Chains A and B, each alone.
Chain A
Amino acid sequence: DAKTTQPPSMDCAEGRAANLPCNHSTISGNEYVYWYRQIHSQGPQYIIHGLKNNETNEMASLIITEDRKSSTLILPHATLRDTAVYYCIVRDNDYKLSFGAGTTVTVRA
């Protein structure tokens, strides 16, 4: 079962930052948070992952709260091509990913 809770949908204006929240209140000390997205008809695409510290790469930033019970994925300048379903996943110690329903993000011009 998915260990995360995400809002079912959100809209974002093109060019603005998109902040996607995720709750993972039962996360264990050594479990990582991973974010993937799935654009229609494609396989899930890895975005970013983290354990405790905030992380940034060319696609996004990941902010993890100090108690690690929640995180936020930030897309700094959303484009129409960022429209997708975004999944926040806590990977278990068997390295399996449990996908929930995710957040459907729609970027509007």
Chain B
Amino acid sequence: DARVTQTPRHKVTEMGQEVTMRCQPILGHNTVFWYRQTMMQGLELLAYFRNRAPLDDSGMPKDRFSAEMPDATLATLKIQPSEPRDSAVYFCASGLIPDVQPQHFGDGTRLSIL
């Protein structure tokens, strides 16, 4: 089965360091979504792209977060500088718009900022 691949699966780093998370969407999907999951906030949408163009990034702190899609096979989410409150699991999902078929999720990057 086709899968969304996220790397790294785990990341531990110190406050102030740059963090880059990568996502390879399912081949043929034109939309990539970034979510963040914490115990307090649950799963929340940060940003999403369609055909590599950002559609909505209103859920993302703009001062330190950036999301890009350099090509159709790679999406990145960067945090610079990182802070302890950024500790969370970050999920990428891909889908096909417009279509009723579902988004499919990767297994996430578990980020810990010390």
Contact check, A44 vs B105: say whether CB atoms are below 8 A apart. yes
Known: A43-B107, A43-B108, A94-B56. A99 touches B102 (CB 8 A): no
Known: A32-B100, A44-B105, A46-B104. A97 touches B45 (CB 8 A): yes
Q: Is the contact region of chain A dominated by helix, strand, or loop, or is it mixed?
A: loop
Docked pose: A34 CA to B102 CA in angstroms: 8
Q: Say if the beta carbon of A100 comes within 8 Å of chain B.
A: yes
Restricting to A83-107, which residues have a CB under 8 Å from any CB of B? 87, 94-101
Q: Say if the beta carbon of B76 comes within 8 Å of chain A.
A: no
A residues in contact with B103, CB < 8 Å: 46, 95, 97
Docked pose: A44 CA to B103 CA in angstroms: 10
B-contact bits for A5-47, CB 8 A (1 contact / 0 none): 0000000000000000000000000001010100000111110
Q: Is the contact region of chain B dominated by helix, strand, or loop, or is it mixed?
A: strand
A residues in contact with B105, CB < 8 Å: 36, 43-46
Contact check, A96 vs B102: say whether CB atoms are below 8 A apart. no
Q: Say if the beta carbon of A49 comes within 8 Å of chain B.
A: yes
Docked pose: A44 CA to B105 CA in angstroms: 6
Known: A44-B91, A46-B104, A95-B31. A101 touches B56 (CB 8 A): no
Q: Say if the beta carbon of B106 comes within 8 Å of chain A.
A: yes
Docked pose: A40 CA to B78 CA in angstroms: 25
Docked pose: A32 CA to B107 CA in angstroms: 24
Query: Among the interface residues A32, A95, A98, which one has the most CB atoms of the partner chain B within 10 A?
Result: A95
A-B contact pairs, 18 of them (CB 8 A): A34-B102, A36-B102, A42-B107, A43-B105, A44-B93, A45-B105, A46-B102, A49-B100, A49-B102, A87-B43, A94-B55, A95-B31, A95-B95, A95-B103, A97-B33, A97-B45, A99-B35, A99-B44
